[in-house]
Amino acid sequence: MSVYEVKPVPSVDELPSKESGSDVTRHDARSPTGVKRIFNFTQMFFFALSYMASWESIIPNVGLAFYNGGPRALVWGCFIVFPGVLCQVASFAELSSIQPIAGAQYHWTWHLAPAKYRRSITWFQGWITWFAWISLLAGVVNIAANVTTTLATTSYPGYVAQGWHTILIMWAYLLVLGLLNMYAFWIIPYIEIFAGFVHIALWIAMAAVLLAMAPRHDADFVFLQKANLSGWESDFVSFNLGIVLITWGFVGFDASAHISEETRKASSTIPRTMFWGIVSNMLLSFGMILIFMTCLGDVDAVLAAGYPLIAICLSATKSVAGASALVGGNLMTIVSSTIGSITSASRLTWAWSRDGALPAYFSRVDPKQHVPVRRAGVAVNVFALVYTAWLGIFMVFPNYLPIDANYMNYALPINAFIWLIALVTWFAWARNHWPGLDIELIDKIVADGEANRLTRHQKFATSDFSMADALEETNTGVSRTVKDLFAGAVGGIAQVLIGQPFDIVKVRLQTTTNYSGAYDCATQILRNEGPAAFYKGTLTPLIGIGACVSVQFGAFNYAKRAFESRNAATASATSKLLPLESSSQLSYGQYYLAGAFAGLSNTVLSSPIEHIRIRLQTQPHGAARLYSGPLDCISKLSRSPSITQGLYRGTSVTLLREAQAYGAWFLSFEYMMNADVARNNYARSAVPTWKIALYGGLAGEMLWLTSYPFDVVKSKMQTDGFGAQQKYGSMRACFGSIWRTEGMRGFWRGIGPTLLRALPVSAGTFVTVEMVMKAIN
């Protein structure tokens, strides 16, 4: 029998008491669970943030509020739901800090219940929790399939979705994401980080589009409008049913707890990420509810739509492509939630089978993959119980009257069915044969988590210390990432203020042949448009480039730390007794890859931001202006028939430019900084500011010398006309046109002012980032 298999469970009479320490063990003592702890604090925070996807869960169903409660139920209901959820999650967080284990609720029940009744209570709790997660997974996958068919019918009006299409799409999602969980689980933490960024970026994009383009309702509609189209005579009942919609966005926050055994420092990481993930989602959800109620548009059209979100986005953008892009972003977060649901449900299945309630077949941990492959305060607690009781009452109410098969709320009979299964299995078998939870195994798991939580000094003292452990102590945590992002944002603002005058000259030279050179271009702008023209279109890059550079430095430092940890782990595994800094030092190829990763991560923001900036910089002056400002430009570009011809025009060549440019940029700067530190034998923090400026400036020159032709093509594509006036149908066509009409020189037009601009701009960016990092550290 494999060391990971659960042994057959004998009858209760044959077993000694678990509390006294049983001789029967379900796992080899050397490996209490057989899984790896791969999630760190940052990854678990983004898992908690993106898994909940609260506003993405509430907003698509916002039309339901007009059957029960109206806008006022959604807005004011937040002040009922949020405190209740916070008290629930605070209780769960406290328990997960005491006993971070995959079984979560039923383990905590065993821990807290009276000894006389704990086996029976734990049995029922375990079945209810397990079935709830299987049901939740089914609901999330169904939503993903429905959104997919909605996108298909919107983009292709001739397509008619059938019920069996939805079933096949659900199976496809389950198959692909299930295989990902089984055989590529190591990538899940990084997917969740990406999903967390999408979660935030989509909120910004949705808010900007709706506030800029959608019709508005007044404050009375948002805060006071009530509605009751469901048939309930009582406004009180209707109001409470409307609030249930908000609770859907906060169901399943215990997902983090079920991954405890694969999380480092679980007793501190799980409660913190669980709590702050919920707080973050609450802030985002309340803001989006206010925005959606304000920008809802025609209520009747929203109610008539099968998927209200697509109707609202179409009303705002007047563009199928724009609406599909926004809903596509929503689908990405739903797919991320599906991944999280599969992960949590499978870990719960594994734990419940490990504890003898489900067949032992599901408890096996694959020795290669290290995953269960076969599992496909008193006042706070009182408030949490009262909130849960209120939710339990109104969750089972039918949403509409009169009741028929279509409008029946099946929550109560389904709940009764699972209770029936638990009761039958309890009296037929478990009452006499199920021994309860394995206290010895629980103690091993909790002890393993505590050992994982030791500081580097404690590990060193116990001879359980590696170079990778040392790096892990300093390289993880949201605070480090936040510092990287903040320093990058400040550096981005400095970059815009220094470089904008140079940039407008560069873009004019790249996109027209009306100037004999940089000096002629600058003098004509000054003479014809005035000095303020050098900062034309600054608002968009001031906000956008700040965000872009923030992402660049955040992504670069994240990738850099990942490489450092990998290098240190490799050195530790091969028993190379080198200093920590030497063993974790990146190769120059790794510096380039980290920089390229930063550039690619940044493209989702930089492509539309630079498109808008270039349109504003190159438009005619005075009465002939095409755009009144950034929001007007966004509105007009969003009405293009295709997103790749609208806001995201030129994204393919932008990807090439960003990867090459920022790979060379960061590699050059790090090479010069490392060489200076080695040559002078001092710490990086001791490098003088003037040297940082020099190295940063030279890195800026290298950035443009290695990527400028891509930038020329990007600028031409992003200033190209629309429809019959469009010259370049693709990146390849643009390359060919430049080569035929201008030759090699065409790819280097405007390089002079670009290099002049790059030196001070790049120097200022790196100096600002380094100084901010020194200050906040």
DSSP string for residues in 60-121: GGGGGGGTBT-HHHHHHHHHHHHHHHHHHHHHHHHHHHH---TTTHHHHHHHHS-TTTHHHH
| Dihedral sign computed on CA atoms, order 534, 536, 539, 545 | negative
Output the pLDDT for position 313. Answer: 85
Output the pLDDT for position 358. Answer: 61
Evaluate whether 130 touches 359 at the Cβ level (below 8 Å). Answer: no
As given in the structure block, the two tokens for residue 677 are: 């530190």
Report the C-alpha gap between 587 and 564 in whole angstroms. Answer: 10
Q: Which residues of 104-142 are buried (b: 16+ CB within 10 A; e: fewer)?
A: bbbbbbbbeeeeeebbbbbbbbbbbbbbbbeebbeebbb
Evaluate whether 758 touches 700 at the Cβ level (below 8 Å). Answer: yes
Output the pLDDT for position 611. Answer: 86
Complete DSSP assignment for 124-139: HHHHHHHHHHHHHHHH
Nearest to residue 96, comparing CAs of 231, 271, 332? Answer: 271
As given in the structure block, the two tokens for residue 755 are: 């290099």
Query: Tell me: the pLDDT tens digits for 257-310?
Result: 988 888 888 888 899 999 999 999 999 999 999 998 888 878 888 777 777 888
Q: Which residue shows structure tokens 């910004």?
A: 204
Q: Which residue shows structure tokens 């004998």?
A: 10
- For residue 374, give the H/E element and its range: none
Q: Which residues of 518-551 are buried (b: 16+ CB within 10 A; e: fewer)?
A: beebbebbeeeeeeebbbbbbbbbbbbbbbbbbb
Output the pLDDT for position 23. Answer: 35
Report the C-alpha gap between 305 and 312 in whole angstroms. Answer: 9
CB-based contacts of 77, cutoff 8 Å, min separation 6: 69, 239, 242, 243, 246
Residue type, 134: I
Q: How far is CA 368 from CA 66, 109, 590, in A?
A: 52, 33, 27
Question: Which segments of the chain have a pLDDT < 70?
Answer: 1-35, 358-415, 417-419, 438-439, 441-482, 485, 492, 506-507, 510-511, 532, 535-546, 572-584, 621-622, 641-644, 776-777
Report the C-alpha gap between 648 and 638 in whole angstroms. Answer: 9
CB-based contacts of 85, cutoff 8 Å, min separation 6: 247, 250, 253, 278, 282, 387
Report the C-alpha gap between 130 and 103 in whole angstroms. Answer: 9
According to DSSP, residue 400 is labeled: S
Report the C-alpha gap between 123 and 113 in whole angstroms. Answer: 12
Neighbours of 204 (CB within 10 A): 12
According to DSSP, residue 396 is labeled: T
Residue percentage of the chain with pLDDT more than 90: 9
Output the pLDDT for position 545. Answer: 67
Residue type, 396: V
What is the three-class DSSP state of 141? Answer: helix
Evaluate whether 546 touches 497 at the Cβ level (below 8 Å). Answer: no
The total number of residues written for the chain in this structure = 777
Report the C-alpha gap between 575 and 35 in whole angstroms. Answer: 24
Phi–psi pair at 68, nearest 5 degrees:
-140, 110
228 bridge partner residues: 68
3-class secondary structure per residue, 512-543: CCCCCCHHHHHHHHHHHHCHHHHHCCCHHHHH
Domains, the chain, in order of start with CATH, read 35-445 (1.20.1740.10), 472-776 (1.50.40.10)
Nearest to residue 142, comparing CAs of 168, 181, 178? Answer: 168
Neighbouring C-alpha atoms within 13 Å toward the C-beta of 683: 3
Query: Tell me: the pLDDT tens digits for 723-769?
Result: 778 888 888 888 888 888 888 888 888 888 788 888 888 888 888 88
Q: Which residue shows structure tokens 């790979």?
A: 663
According to DSSP, residue 3 is labeled: T
Evaluate whether 9 touches 221 at the Cβ level (below 8 Å). Answer: no
Rg (CA), the chain: 29
Output the pLDDT for position 365. Answer: 52
Complete DSSP assignment for 414-468: HHHHHHHHHHHHIIIIIHHH-----HHHHHHHHHHHHHHT--HHHHHHTT---HH
Nearest to residue 161, comparing CAs of 170, 151, 172, 153? Answer: 153
Torsion of CA 437, 440, 446, 449, to 10 degrees: -120
Output the pLDDT for position 125. Answer: 85
As given in the structure block, the two tokens for residue 5 are: 């298999």
Output the pLDDT for position 457. Answer: 40
Query: Tell me: the pLDDT tens digits for 483-522?
Result: 776 777 777 677 777 777 777 776 677 667 777 777 788 8
- Give Cα 365 to chain centroid, integer Å: 28
Question: CA angle, corner 292, sides to 397 and 204, nearest 5?
Answer: 125
Report the C-alpha gap between 67 and 146 in whole angstroms. Answer: 21
Output the pLDDT for position 535. Answer: 66
As given in the structure block, the two tokens for residue 763 are: 């120097």
Output the pLDDT for position 451. Answer: 56
Neighbours of 190 (CB within 10 A): 13
